[in-house]
Amino acid sequence: MTAIENILQIEGPLLSGKLAEYLAKTEKIPINTASQKISRTKNLRKIKGFFSSNQSLCFLEHQYEGDQLFSVFTKALYESGRKYWYCINALKIHGGVINKRYLECYTNYPIKPLIKHLPFKQVLKKFVDQGILIFVGNEEYHFSPKFSNLSTTSISNRTIEVIKDDILSHFHKIMKNTGLISFNKGEIFAEYAKFRWGFKGPSYVRGLVENGKSGYILADILFGREFYKEDIMFFIEKLNHIQSFKNAPRIIPYLIVDNLHPEALAELKKRGIVIGFISELFGEKYAQALNELVAVLNNAGANLKSHPNKYLQLIDELKVYNETLIYNIRGTLFEYFVGHIHVKQCQSIDIGREIIENNGRHEIDVFAIYSDKVVFVECKATNSKIDEDKIWKWTSNKIPAFKSWLLKQETLKNHSVHFEYWATGGFTESAKEILDKLSESTNKFQVKYFEPETIRDLTVKMKNKKLKESLDNYFLKPNV
């Protein structure tokens, strides 16, 4: 083992400047000579292009394991590459998965060319090229599975984003109906001054108009957990950038939130930023129901096992305030609904679990463990039928990943394996043929699919009035 490898083995991953100091002291050589030795070392892993003074983060291959590298990288960015840290922090506080349109808001990188600023696409490409992030389906950024094993609950993250979309839409209505913005000019996920904002609207309110030019209402939203001072600094930095421009219009900045740490609250007030608490904008009871829904989904399996009817009660409460939201999170609720049917007899259950297997992240909609079997369930709450393309993707990508993952679970690998596909819209004939052939061709696992009538029969057998009502109200047309 070389001196450099020995230092990294003892100290963990280090920025090249710090590593050079250790090496110079160990070998009693000048810092410059140590730096040159580090740059010439070929079996050293490095992350480049993010740190001040052209430094690199140096590490050994095995230090990918256990999130050691992730922890050091995040701290090094905060101390020596702050402008890049915003991206990593945004993913971290959102469970390691975030939609591109929100990540554009939560970083202070311009989405259009701006002098002396790297654009969003270029910054994110650096993260992707170095294996830190992956871009999935032209829609979401994830931490690379090799880089971070940060556990995530997709059912919660997905629902939170839908809730945020809905809140921004209602915020737009408030701004419009109170006359704070021009009636038909507000935009959600809009560009303003080359940066992305959750909301923007031109305003001709007295005090904002200058030389005949409108001012603007600008807003971003954070929801789903307590947010700290460092979490809200992206918003302040974006405001600092745009207000440094020559002849910048006057603005009223809103940060819409549900839960702030006192230090974050004080910082926003000090900066003259309007804090739009969801409870104040939309009512305490609605905000409480949203928070309870997120709490239920954050620990979906345990909550379903201990309080199986809780989510049904929350649906009824939320419907009073916002029926549209219920239909927008219909997919999430259907996963919970299917879990509700399994939970009566299984030993434990998990909803929306994500696993890292076969070099990718894979979501298990419902994972039920019985005394003698495990059940992996795919859930689709769509009106259209599931076609053969969707079935091929399930059988060729997800099933192999789930089987491979299960073999590594010592307490479960000897259980029989069942795969189920539940679809409220049913299946095309070609899709059913594929599923039938797969079921008949193997004895190693079982495959079943559940169409509307099958789902209805199982629900009726549960003898749960509220469960039956939710089926009729949200997932299947009631029998007449």
Alpha helices in 213-274 (DSSP H): 229-243, 262-270
What pLDDT score was predicted for residue 447? 96
Q: Residue 414: which domain range?
A: 315-475
pLDDT score recorded for residue 106: 97
Residues 265 and 326 in one domain: no
**Number of C-alpha atoms within 13 angstroms, CB side, residue 345?**
11
Structure confidence at residue 361 (pLDDT): 77
Task: Tell me, yes or no, whether 271 and 171 share the same domain.
Answer: yes
Nearest C-alpha neighbor of 341 from the set 227, 454, 199:
454
- Asked if the structure places residue 42 within a domain, the reply is yes
Q: Do 371 and 440 fall into the same domain? A: yes
Categorize the per-residue pLDDT at 147 as very low, low, confident or very high, splitting at 50, 70 and 90: confident
Q: Is residue 307 assigned to a domain?
A: no
Last residue of a domain, one of 79, 96, 120: 79
What pLDDT digit, counting tens, does each position of 209-267 carry?
998 899 999 999 999 999 999 999 999 999 999 999 988 899 999 999 999 999 999 99
Residue type, 198: G
Task: Identify whether the C-beta of residue 68 lies closer than 8 Å to the C-beta of residue 194.
Answer: no
Of residues 151 and 161, more confidence is placed in 161
Query: How far is residue 319's CA from residue 334's CA, in Å, rounded to a whole number?
Result: 16
CATH number at residue 182: 3.40.1350.10
Instruction: Count how many residues are written for the chain.
Output: 480
Residue 97 maps to a domain: no
Q: What is the pLDDT of residue 253?
A: 98
- Which two three-digit tokens encode residue 388? 């053969």
Calculate mean pLDDT across residues 377-390: 96
**Dist CA 82 CA 84 (whole Å):** 5
Give yes or no for residue 468 having a pLDDT over 80: yes
Domain count, the chain: 3
Which has more confidence, 427 or 96?
427
Asked, for residue 344, whether it belongs to a domain, the answer is yes
Q: In terms of domains, do 366 and 262 share one? A: no
At residue 413, the pLDDT reads: 86
Task: Give 321's pLDDT tier (boundaries 50, 70, 90).
Answer: confident
Residues 261 and 351 in one domain: no
The more confidently predicted of residues 413 and 204 is 204
Cα–Cα dist 253/256, whole Å: 10
Mean pLDDT, the chain, integer: 92
Residues 248 and 378 in one domain: no
**One domain, residues 1 and 59:** yes
Query: Stretch 338-362: mean pLDDT, rounded?
Result: 89
- Res. 152 pLDDT band, cuts 50 70 90: low
DSSP labels for 17-47? HHHHHHHHHHHT--HHHHHHHHHH-TT-EEE
Residue 207 confidence (pLDDT): 92
pLDDT at 238: 96
Q: Are residues 350 and 439 in the same domain?
A: yes
Largest CA distance in the chain: 87
Percent of the chain at pLDDT > 70 equals 98
Section 342-360 average pLDDT: 88
Considering the domain architecture, whether residues 265 and 352 belong to the same structural domain is answered as no
Identify the domain boundary among 22, 52, 79: 79
CB 111 within 8 A of CB 191: yes
At residue 355, does pLDDT exceed 80? yes
Confidence at residue 291, expressed as pLDDT on a 0 to 100 scale: 92
Q: Is residue 308 part of a domain?
A: no
Averaged pLDDT for residues 446-450: 96
Does the global pTM surpass 0.95?
Answer: no
- Of 202 and 477, the structure prediction assigns the larger pLDDT to 202
Q: Which DSSP symbol is given to 225?
A: S
256 in the same domain as 187: yes
Q: Tell me the per-residue pLDDT of 42-89, one tens digit each, with 9 for 90 and over.
A: 889 999 999 999 999 999 988 987 678 999 999 999 999 999 999 999
Q: How confident is the model at residue 479 (pLDDT cuts 50, 70, 90)?
A: low
Cβ atoms of 398 and 362 closer than 8 Å: yes
Question: Are residues 216 and 275 located together in one domain of the fold?
Answer: yes
Are 70 and 186 in a shared domain?
Answer: no
Does residue 422 sit in helix, strand or coil?
strand
The string of DSSP letters for 111-160 reads SS-BTTB--HHHHHHHHHHTTSEEEETTTEEEE-TTT-----BHHHHHHH
Q: What is the pLDDT of residues 161-199, one digit of tens each?
A: 999 999 999 999 999 999 999 888 999 999 999 999 999
- 74 within a domain of the structure (yes/no): yes
* Domain CATH code at residue 30: 1.10.10
Collapsing DSSP states into helix, strand and coil, what is residue 87?
A: helix
Which one, of 344, 318, 342, lies nearest residue 330 by Cα? Answer: 318
In a domain, 112, yes or no: no
Least confident of 229-238, 289-298, 353-362: 353-362
142 forms beta bridges with: 97, 134
